[in-house]
Structure 1
Amino acid sequence: MTVELLGIHHVTAMTDNAMRNYKFFTEVLGMRLVKKTVNQDDIQTYHTFYADDLGSPGTDMTFFDFPNNPKGTNGTNAISRVGLRVPNDAALDYYLVRFEEFGVKNDGIKELFGKKVLPFEEYDGQRYQLFSDENNEGVAPGTPWKNGPVPEDKAIYGLGPIEITVSYFEDFKKVLTDVYGMKPILEEEKVALFDVGEGGNGGQVILRKDDSVLGQQGYGQVHHVSFRVEDHKAIKEWEAKYNEMGLQHSGHVDRFYFEALYTRIGHILIELSTDGPGFMGDEPYETLGESLSLPPFLEPKRDYIESQIRPFDTTRS
């Protein structure tokens, strides 16, 4: 029997400016850059990882830097909004003031499924919302960045519910339950909420029905979402399940920081990723993300890679 998913692992989006994106995530949101590396499928571009203090699975928002790509457009059949977790309602009040100070577009504090949320956008239009963990249960959060600009008792410490918007609502609901074992905890005509693993803010998917214009990929949009599995054995079991079901997939991929398996459900790229090895094995804790980190199989190409990517300074120590 295939082991169940443990929660959200990471979300990867696209930016047109790695430096602006770095400043937004570290200086405004107060998340830690735990890895500055390259897109292993396009080694001339950056892949940056923002997470909690230790780079824990379930806390990282990652970005491909595609400076020459066009801006994406919002619409259906896309991952439409990314959730980020904060400890309590007071943290939302803190970020609301912070967003006003930094000129971050936001919708003010609202309520969603009985939880307080703060929807906002990055300067390129990428859409997020902060979820308050007040009275939340389920997947445990990470550890706030200890040396960040946001007080630890207010800081973002994990990924929250991921919103997916599709025109083929009923078909996608069936995949989430039948293939991935997600549990519906709320179902209405045009929205459904699913628990993943232990559920709660760190393990939920919001599925919305939308028959309007098709969204277009580009910077300011999400590339894919990844869900957690425990280890190599678990990801190989999922590979076997995909084969049995006739689902096309990437096959097992070793990303060095984690192992991965990709498939596309309609327009949505879904990755499964192992919890380890993680981001702490090749750099000291004190200087995570300060230099260009490459997996061993790319080290022979370091000189070429460094000649192609645009350098930007992430030194903090």
Structure 2
Amino acid sequence: MKLLGLHHVSAFTASAAKNFEFYTEVLGMRLVKKTVNQDNIRVYHLFYADEIGTAGTELTFFEIPNAGQNRRGNNSISSLSLRVPNDKALTYWKNRFEELNVKHEDITEQAGHQILPFEDFEGQRFYLISDEHDQGVRGGKPWDKSPVPAEYGIIGLGPIKLTVPVAEHTGLILEKVMGFRKVGSYPATVTGQPDIVIYETAEGGNGAQVHLEERNDLDPERLGRGGVHHVAFRVTDEEELRQWVERIRSLQIGNSGFVDRFYFRSLYFREPNGILFELATDGPGFATDEDPEHLGEALALPPFLENRREDIEAHLKPLNTTK
């Protein structure tokens, strides 16, 4: 039982249309699945990834049209990152962000890697991270129809940052329950706060890291548009996921039990500071119900929702995702 790295992250947006435009036209990612939130079928769930939706490259969004602005704070997934092939790619992206008026900072260094912090149109915090010196979990393959040249394209999820009031509690879950290991640290961005600790799993590297920040000067986050709902970690297959279900239950950690999401199987639980974790299988994948050449173009529904298609479509604002 070993987690293989990051699987996906899921965030909130107030506009599926603007979200689609930003992540495909600006960031050049591929929409690999247009479906609905299985726990709230009145809203879209959009999945962006590499060319085939490889586990570890997935960035997903729930559309909540009336969501207020995310209020940043503690007990949160406070920052996401996206991997690019090398340092040269960051220079390309800095120029691209300037041309397209994307809010960004300068290229800087973090724990031995070059990074480029930026925000999306709703203020969600990201940074691009260079894989130039990375030797861990492999990235994906950029979509060949992307407006971004393949040599500079986004190749997967990079480290995610958790901000919590008591880092020790989250660290215990990561190490003693989930099998992560401490591999380093770097200075906090706020004077007087502890160093940010780097944890990684499996082969390690940018695609398998959690950065844990302790802050004693923040109120809890109020989740809204531009905020992150949960982070998922990779599990090999369903058999192993069921072993994780039993492990989490045996430790008396509140959890969802086994959940069939059709495109993958899942288990959800919260760590002690309240952040929602998911364990998700690498497959079956997004080509299960669509031709790989046409992923994300039509509204896809898992079999257990197909008999409600007419009602679901009637309550969704049409979203043209055909390229």
1:119 and 2:117 matched: yes
TM-score by length of structure 2 reads: 0.96
Corresponding residue SS for 1:6: coil
Corresponding residue SS for 2:157: strand
Which letter maps to 2:295?
A: L
The 1-side partners of 2:136 and 2:236 are apart by 17
In the alignment, what sits opposite 1:230? Answer: 236
Corresponding residue SS for 2:318: coil
Corresponding residue SS for 1:202: helix
Corresponding residue SS for 1:99: helix
Q: Measure how far apart 1:187 and its partner are.
A: 4.2
The 2-side partners of 1:118 and 1:235 are apart by 35
1:156 and 2:162 matched: no
Corresponding residue SS for 1:178: helix
TM-score by length of structure 1 reads: 0.98
Q: Measure how far apart 1:72 and its partner are.
A: 1.3
In the alignment, what sits opposite 2:189? Answer: none
Q: Measure how far apart 1:190 and its partner are.
A: 3.2
In the alignment, what sits opposite 2:259? Answer: 253
Deviations 1:51-95 (A, max 9, x none): 000110000000000001221111111000111000000110001
Q: Measure how far apart 1:213 and its partner are.
A: 2.0
Contact 2:197 2:211 in 1 (8 A): yes
Q: Of residues 190, 193, 197 in structure 2, which corresponds to 1:192?
A: 197
In the alignment, what sits opposite 1:97? Answer: 95
Corresponding residue SS for 1:91: helix
In the alignment, what sits opposite 2:68? Answer: 70
Q: Measure how far apart 1:170 and its partner are.
A: 1.3
In the alignment, what sits opposite 2:171? Answer: 173
Unpaired runs of 5+ in structure 1? none
1:242 and 2:248 matched: yes
In the alignment, what sits opposite 1:282? Answer: 289
The 2-side partners of 1:190 and 1:172 are apart by 15
Corresponding residue SS for 1:280: helix
Q: Of residues 173, 195, 202 in structure 1, which corresponds to 2:207?
A: 202
In the alignment, what sits opposite 1:220? Answer: 226
Q: Of residues 23, 34, 37 in structure 1, which corresponds to 2:35?
A: 37
Q: Measure how far apart 1:177 and its partner are.
A: 0.5
Deviations 1:129-150 (A, max 9, x none): 1010002111010011111000
In the alignment, what sits opposite 2:277? Answer: 270
Contact 2:111 2:185 in 1 (8 A): no
Corresponding residue SS for 2:59: strand
The 1-side partners of 2:222 and 2:202 are apart by 30
Structure 1 runs of 4+ off > 4 angstroms? none
The 1-side partners of 2:144 and 2:164 are apart by 38
Corresponding residue SS for 1:199: coil
Contact 2:232 2:279 in 1 (8 A): yes
Q: Which moved more, 1:36-45 or 1:212-221?
A: 212-221
Q: Which moved more, 1:109-118 or 1:209-218?
A: 209-218
1:85 and 2:83 matched: yes
The 1-side partners of 2:83 and 2:255 are apart by 30
Deviations 1:193-250 (A, max 9, x none): 0112111011111100111222111111000000000001111010000111000100
Equivalent pairs, count: 314
Q: Measure how far apart 1:98 and its partner are.
A: 0.5
Which letter maps to 1:37?
A: T
Corresponding residue SS for 1:46: strand
The 2-side partners of 1:34 and 1:108 are apart by 31
Please give the root-mean-square deviation of Cα atoms over the aligned residues, in Å. Answer: 0.8
The 1-side partners of 2:274 and 2:291 are apart by 38
In the alignment, what sits opposite 1:26? Answer: 24
Q: Identity percentage over the alignment?
A: 49
Which letter maps to 1:256?
A: F
Which letter maps to 1:281?
A: T
In the alignment, what sits opposite 2:108? Answer: 110
Q: Measure how far apart 1:290 and its partner are.
A: 0.5
Contact 2:81 2:160 in 1 (8 A): yes
In the alignment, what sits opposite 2:190? Answer: none
1:310 and 2:317 matched: yes
The 1-side partners of 2:157 and 2:115 are apart by 13
